[in-house]
Chain A
Amino acid sequence: QVQLQESGPRLLKPSGTLSLTCAVSGASISSSNWWSWVRQPPGKGLEWIGEIYHDGSTNYNPSLESRVTMSVDKSKNQFSLKLTSLTATDTAVYYCARDVSSDQQLATWGQGILVTVSS
């Protein structure tokens, strides 16, 4: 059974940088899947941040593209999200997710991590 687990700091200051990691178990990060990040501000809807393939190819949401970097660490079987120049509007639950196939998009999700941006 594939499991995803987000980790990282939960309280950050404005203008700071968010760095989150998604540890993958039960599957290889090098399998033929896209690995995604999605966020959800408290009480609001879902926003797709972007996705990364094991070869490092990425697709980012243009609304965040100037501040987002995703990477893959094959040796640790994990992938990461970096978001710079934080403001309070970046406060959200951040989820990592996996496409099971090109058809079954975002079929597996992590439990999510609440990141709060506040001075």
Chain B
Amino acid sequence: DVVLTQSPLSLPVTLGQPASISCRSSQSLVYNNGYTYLNWFQQRPGQSPRLLIYKVFNRDSGVPDRFSGSGSGTDFTLKISRVEAEDVGVYYCMQGLHWPYTFGQGTKLEIK
């Protein structure tokens, strides 16, 4: 299975400050069509996961533009430009190229 390793696992952030989460894959996530199937999900406390970013950098509908994704090959990053209170929760990267699809361990974002 493809292993996704996230860091940090815990992320205390001051309101209004930026935040960054890394996700490294044990295998390339580039398909032969040239697209890279790395997604980011947000799970707020007590809620279902929500797709934030698909194919590395594409924001899903309704996702604020303070969220951005970047990276290539096996190394990816989710950035929040200015953290707001509603951003508290756990963030997961997920690869959707190799079966079985796999998730990172999750990064818990909290307000400092």
Contacts and interface: CB of A to CB of B under 8 A. Distances in A.
B39 interface: yes
**Chain A: number of interface residues, binned into ranges:** 20 to 34
Contact of B101 (A45, A48, A111): A48
Contact of A109 (B1, B50, B100): B50
A66 interface: no
User: 10 shortest A-B CB distances, which residue pairs?
Assistant: A61-B100, A109-B48, A105-B96, A48-B101, A46-B103, A107-B51, A45-B106, A104-B54, A59-B99, A112-B48
Interface residues of B, number: 24
A113 to B, nearest CB: 11
Interface of B: 1, 35, 37, 39, 41, 48-51, 54-55, 58, 60, 92, 94, 96, 99-106
A62 B106 contact: no
B51 A46 contact: no
A47 B49 CA distance: 12
A46 B41 CA distance: 11
14 contacts: A38-B49, A45-B105, A46-B41, A46-B106, A48-B94, A48-B103, A59-B100, A61-B100, A63-B100, A103-B58, A105-B101, A106-B49, A107-B54, A110-B48
A53 interface: no
A103 B54 contact: yes
B100 A106 contact: no
Query: Among the interface residues A60, A62, A95, A109, which one has the most CB atoms of the partner chain B within 10 A?
Result: A109
A103 B35 contact: yes
A104 B100 contact: no
A106 to B, nearest CB: 6
A67 to B, nearest CB: 14
Contacts of B39: 105-106
